[in-house]
Amino acid sequence: MHKWWVAMNRKIVLPNGKEIKPPFKLTWVITLIVILLIALSIYVTKFDLSLLVTHAHRASEYFSQLFNFNEKTYAFIPSIYKPLLQTLAMSLVGSLAGMLLAFPVGIICAININNNFFTCILRAIFNILRTIPILIVGLIFKYIFGASNFSGFVAILITTFLIGIKMLYEYIETLNLASYESALATGLNKYQAIVSTIIPNIRSYFVSQTLYMFEVNVRMATILGLVGGGGIGLVLNDQLTVNPAKAGMILIFMFVVVLTIELITGFLRKRLA
């Protein structure tokens, strides 16, 4: 304890005779906090490493069933096309509709354009709503509209809308608004100044983020299907326990589709950058 106290209070003498105390390093404190948090997480979740070892054979058995294809599995392939297209459709339309709705709201919520009490309240409301996970949103609309593609579409639209607002106003707040302020000084009203100076600067970013949201929403649409959001996820949920081989075929199709979309959207976003 004495050594620790001395180390904490040591001083450095400069060549001019002046004594200074070096800044306190938080490295060991942060390390200790991280270790305690990990230990607490292990205790709360009752994590047991031995279960991973003892149940490894069960995982091996299930994965062997998952990709044990036969004639019935190949005959099932035509049944995948329709729900897969439905998943892509609700992801695409939900992403486009959500981002288009977010476009004007994101501009309104930018503090450097509208620095007022109304903007702060609006942002606070959207921030609170954005904390609701998409699966919960999907479950809510499942109980409203039933297990259908429409439930998944609405969940994707709302989640994309809320995320898109944050993306846009954060990007707008990084812009240099000299041209916007000059436009206002020439006599243009705020709407005209935004159309002539702000929108041209965010157009490429908006398209890039719309492509990104579509890429993300294809994955999310599959997960939404597991909770009744329609599409390929609903079919996957039915087959996971009943016929693992058919579920494995669905996973392969999803892997190919998601990888293809990632490559295409990634290429387009680079071209827009």
Average pLDDT over residues 133-155: 87
**Could you tell me how far CA 128 lies from the centroid of its own chain?**
16
Give Cβ neighbours of residue 89 (< 8 Å, ≥ 6 apart). 149
Give the least confident one: 24-33, 160-169, 193-202. 24-33
**Could you tell me how far CA 118 lies from the centroid of its own chain?**
27
What are the b/e assignments for 79-104, b being 16+ CB within 10 Å? ebeebbebbbebbbebbebbbebbbe
Per residue in 117-142, pLDDT tens?
A: 999 999 999 999 999 988 898 888 88
**For position 11, what pLDDT does the model report?**
64
The model's pTM is: 0.80
Q: How far apart are CA 59 and CA 64, in angstroms?
A: 9
- Tell me which of 165 and 72 has the higher pLDDT: 165
**For position 188, what pLDDT does the model report?**
86
CB atoms within 10 A of CB 1: 5
Q: Please, which pLDDT band fits residue 2 given cuts at 50, 70 and 90?
A: very low
Is 152 exposed, middle or buried (CB count within 10 Å of its CB: 0-12, 13-18, 19+)?
buried
Q: Position 231: which residue type?
A: G
Q: Position 151: which residue type?
A: S
Average pLDDT over residues 20-32: 74
**For position 21, what pLDDT does the model report?**
66
